[in-house]
Amino acid sequence: MNAPTDAGPTGGQEPPEVPAGDDTTRARILRTATRLFATHGYEATGIRQIGREVGISSSVLYHYVGSKEDLLLGIMTEDLTFVVDKTRKMLELCDNPVDEVAGLVRAQIMIDVFKRPSSLVVDSEIRSIPQHRRAEIIGLRDEVEEFWKKAIADGIREGAFRHPHPSLARLAILGLATGVQNWYTTSGPLSLQEVCGSHALSAVRLLTGQPGVDAETESRILNHAIADEWAIVTSEEVSGA
């Protein structure tokens, strides 16, 4: 059991209040379905169960979200649109490939922690969407992947990164970052800022091909204050939503 700590998600800095969110019937359906899909799985969750927890009949639920498949597609589209928008905004705070990779790691971790149930659904239930309906989901995932490919390619071109297999490095870093949602808790010994800093530094070290980086870069990554980025993640505004 992790020891409790008073450090908040941003490492002692008070994060912005998480918005309560939309309380329309459709929004409540999406939130409830997301929680149930993340907890029990898509196949094991029935429409009646979702409706019962929201407090509406199955016919009313169908009116708002269509079929169960439509509901899952809506959850995944909304989540990935959020990821693309927030990641793009966080990258605008960076001005070189090293900082971009570190920023991408922080973005992945913070978004997954903030949107944990929907992130889990997106990661585990793509197989439940029929092939002919996956185009938009895959397109949004490709947008996120392009952020990573560009940052790493720019770093290699500028001589900052030297990894012989950039694609393998990218997959390894993504695995490291996305895994945080499976174990991170605010009651653990590390703040979210410390977790982000440690994982971002590991990513940069992997790409440079060196066990260490210069002291200035290491300090910048480890001590990077995430309050501004956390504010972006927790903001209700999503461009194009």
152-210 tens-digit pLDDT: 999 999 999 999 999 999 999 999 999 999 999 988 899 999 999 999 999 999 999 87
Distances (CA, A) of 24 to 20, 27, 82, 182: 12, 5, 19, 29
Evaluate if residue 148 carries a pLDDT over 70.
yes
Residue with the two structure tokens 């799985």: 41
**And the tokens for 97?**
């490939």
Nearest CA to 179 out of 150, 202, 151 is that of 202
Condensed to tens digits (0 to 9), the pLDDT of residues 88-116 reads 999 999 999 999 999 999 999 999 999 99
Mean pLDDT of the chain: 87
Contacts 24+ apart (CB under 8 A), 165-173: 166/207, 169/206, 169/207, 172/206, 173/101, 173/105, 173/148, 173/202, 173/203, 173/206, 173/207
pLDDT at residue number 143: 96
Evaluate if residue 237 carries a pLDDT over 70.
no
**Phi-psi domain of 74 (left: phi exceeds 0; alpha: psi -120 through 50; beta: other):** alpha
The CATH number given to 76-234 is 1.10.357.10
Q: Quick one: average pLDDT of 1-15?
A: 36
Q: Tell me which of 21-35, 121-135, 184-198 is least confident.
A: 21-35
- Band the pLDDT of 13: cuts 50, 70, 90: very low
pLDDT at residue number 151: 97
Q: Tell me which of 5-9, 43-47, 165-169 is least confident.
A: 5-9
Q: Quick one: average pLDDT of 136-143?
A: 94
**Which residues have CB under 8 Å from 40's CB, separation 6+?**
none
Tell me if 104 sits within 8 A of 151, measured CB to CB.
Answer: yes
Percent of the residues in the chain that have a pLDDT greater than 70, as a whole number = 88
Evaluate if residue 9 carries a pLDDT over 90.
no
Evaluate if residue 5 carries a pLDDT over 70.
no
Residue with the two structure tokens 């992947």: 145
Residue with the two structure tokens 């927790």: 234
pLDDT at residue number 223: 87
Helix (H, G, I), strand (E, B) or coil at 10: strand
Evaluate if residue 132 carries a pLDDT over 90.
yes
Tell me if 186 sits within 8 A of 9, measured CB to CB.
Answer: yes
Q: What angle do CA 115, 117, 118 make, to 5 degrees?
A: 70
pLDDT at residue number 208: 92
Evaluate if residue 150 carries a pLDDT over 90.
yes
Evaluate if residue 22 carries a pLDDT over 60.
no
Distances (CA, A) of 6 to 115, 165, 171, 190, 191: 22, 41, 33, 10, 9
15/222: higher pLDDT? 222
Tell me if 238 sits within 8 A of 183, measured CB to CB.
Answer: no
